[in-house]
Amino acid sequence: LLTSVCIPRHESTYKHTREDEDDTQTVAEIMARCFIPTLITTSSWEGFHFVGHEIRITEATDCYGAVVWPSALILCYFLETHAKQFNMVDKNVIEIGAGTGLVSIVASLLGARVTATDLPELLGNLQYNISRNTKMKCKHLPQVKELSWGVALDENFPKSSNDFDYILAADVVYAHPFLEELLITFDHLSKEVTTILWAMKFRLEKENKFVDRFKELFDLEEISSFPSLNIKLYKAMKKKSEASNKRN
């Protein structure tokens, strides 16, 4: 279980206990949270079990954000099994590249005040999944909002009103041309107190380069690793400015 992967030493530091150990059992446990309906219905959906709820996700077939990616399952499982350390209750949370919305739904079911974001063409299906799975089940009804990385950030997410405790991201780094814009977006949305929880699937060399760039702006900590899926789970926080270092 992920809980055996990360042993808290103090609030923000983690020690890996089974770095090279076979992760098959954990991955099997996570993947078992997914099921397909046994009855043929008029609308197609995929089911997931998280936080004691059955979550029904409708997927589309026309774009990257239209299916649930394994990184999303890893992040959902982590949020569920680490709900004490990363308490979501009443926290302000934004998910970028939310896709079908599973991660945002799980964060909402855990009590967070969530804003789920993605490209405009994804928002219809995202809103549908979020409404279907959170109405009457969540303390705070999640919002769905357009956020195209690097675009109109000052207008749509003014720094002065950004107050996010957490930024969630699953599988947002791959062969797309907006990696610099993605980095700008992480930077724009985060304050020094914001925690980024980011599930990252490694496919190409490009991804390693992004991690290096990311480390220039953020303190990055690997909190879990799934070698069989080439997925790592990271926690990150903005590097402290010199001014705030001097203050402390």
Ligand X SMILES: C[S@@+](CC[C@H](N)C(=O)[O-])C[C@H]1O[C@@H](n2cnc3c(N)ncnc32)[C@H](O)[C@@H]1O
Q: Which residues bind ligand X (CB under 6 A)?
A: 64-65, 68-69, 71-72, 97-100, 118-119, 122, 147-149, 170-172, 176, 178
E strand or H helix at 43: none
Q: How far apart are CA 29 and CA 80, in angstroms?
A: 13
In the bound state, the residue with its beta carbon closest to ligand X is 65
Determine the 3-state secondary structure of 184 from DSSP: helix
Least separation in angstroms between residue 26's CB and ligand X is: 18
Q: What is the CA radius of gyration of the chain?
A: 17
Residue placing its CB nearer to ligand X in the complex, 181 or 221: 181
Residue placing its CB nearer to ligand X in the complex, 97 or 111: 97
Q: How far apart are CA 150 and CA 122, in angstroms?
A: 17
Burial degree of 146 (CB within 10 A; 0-12, 13-18, 19+): middle
Least separation in angstroms between residue 122's CB and ligand X is: 5
Question: Angle at CA 142, nearest 5°, toward 139 and 143?
Answer: 150
Question: Angle at CA 116, nearest 5°, toward 107 and 206?
Answer: 100
Residue placing its CB nearer to ligand X in the complex, 81 or 129: 129
Q: How far apart are CA 130 and CA 114, in angstroms?
A: 10
Determine the 3-state secondary structure of 53 from DSSP: strand
Least separation in angstroms between residue 117's CB and ligand X is: 7
Residue placing its CB nearer to ligand X in the complex, 13 or 35: 35
Residue placing its CB nearer to ligand X in the complex, 21 or 151: 151
Determine the 3-state secondary structure of 189 from DSSP: helix
Least separation in angstroms between residue 247's CB and ligand X is: 34
Between the alpha carbon of residue 86 and those of residues 83, 172, 176, the distances in Å are 5, 21, 30
Least separation in angstroms between residue 71's CB and ligand X is: 5
Residue placing its CB nearer to ligand X in the complex, 99 or 111: 99
Least separation in angstroms between residue 57's CB and ligand X is: 9
